[in-house]
Amino acid sequence: MQATEITKETPVGKLAAEAPATTRVFARHGIDYCCGGGVALGAACEARGVAFDGVLAELTDELTAKDTDLKSWVGAPLEELIDHIIEAFHRPLEEELPRIDGMLRKVFEVHGDKDPERLAELVNTFSALKAELEQHMLKEERILFPLIRQGQGAMAGGPVHVMRLEHDGAGEAIARLRALTDDFTPPAEACTTWRALYHALAEFEEAMHTHIHLENNVLFPSALGA
Ligand SMILES: [Fe+2]
Ligand SMILES: [Fe+2]
């Protein structure tokens, strides 16, 4: 589904199924794409009292957004890189972690009986990871990043070591999420929310991989002066 194909007539459920990233926009505006999926986008916007043009712009953003500027961060000023990490990864996670957690709980409640062991482990693995990441980002933003901004990164060997260990733990948990979901492939009978959930998990993994890469391989070595 291309952004240019979206009109007021496009059914909300079709968008959610064919381009699950759009469910982020729907969630933001309380547009029901699961039970009210047959409703046309224009009518759904009207029912929620939100402007169609604004929603269309957000949908277009979701469908075209990609972080493709990896290499340009090598050698960039560390303050800029820290700002980028916070804006591109930390802030979006504040929205994404609770959103995925909510979808997981919903899928488990409704479909838990279809694959009880794996879905239960999926819920538990994600909610533990969510709690760890929330603490982890707080530590980076309150302790480590300010040290680096103040030019004291060379003294931050201890905190950097702890952050690296936590990245390893997060990486293992994310790999477990992938294993528990057959590489984020929803089962044939999966409903729209279930499909949107696995798509969100795949995007979460992709973003976490970039996020951790920028910290481990660009920010930390440069801050430590290695
Ligand atoms: Fe981070
Ligand atoms: Fe980190």
What are the pLDDT digits (tens) for 119-170? Answer: 999 999 999 999 999 999 999 999 999 999 999 988 999 999 999 999 999 9
Torsion of CA 221, 222, 223, 225, to 10 degrees: 90
**Is a pLDDT exceeding 60 seen at residue 70?**
no
Where residue 68 falls among pLDDT bands split at 50, 70, 90? Answer: very low
Rounded CA-CA distance 1/41 in Å is: 14
For residues 39 and 10, give the distance between their C-alpha atoms in angstroms, rounded to a whole number: 8
C-alpha of residue 82 to centroid of ligand 1, in Å: 9
Q: How far apart are CA 86 and CA 80, in angstroms?
A: 10
State pTM to two decimals.
0.75
Tell me how crowded residue 47 is: count the other CB atoms within 10 A of its CB: 13
Distance between alpha carbon 214 and the CA centroid of its chain, in Å?
A: 16
Q: Which ligand is nearest to the CA of 166?
A: 2
Give all domains of the chain, ordered by start, each with its CATH number.
Answer: 3-64 (1.10.3910), 71-224 (no CATH)
CB atoms within 10 A of CB 192: 19
Task: Give the model's pLDDT for residue 6.
Answer: 93
Lowest pLDDT segment from 43-57, 77-91, 119-133, 199-213: 199-213
- Spacing, Cα 85 to ligand 2 middle (Å): 9
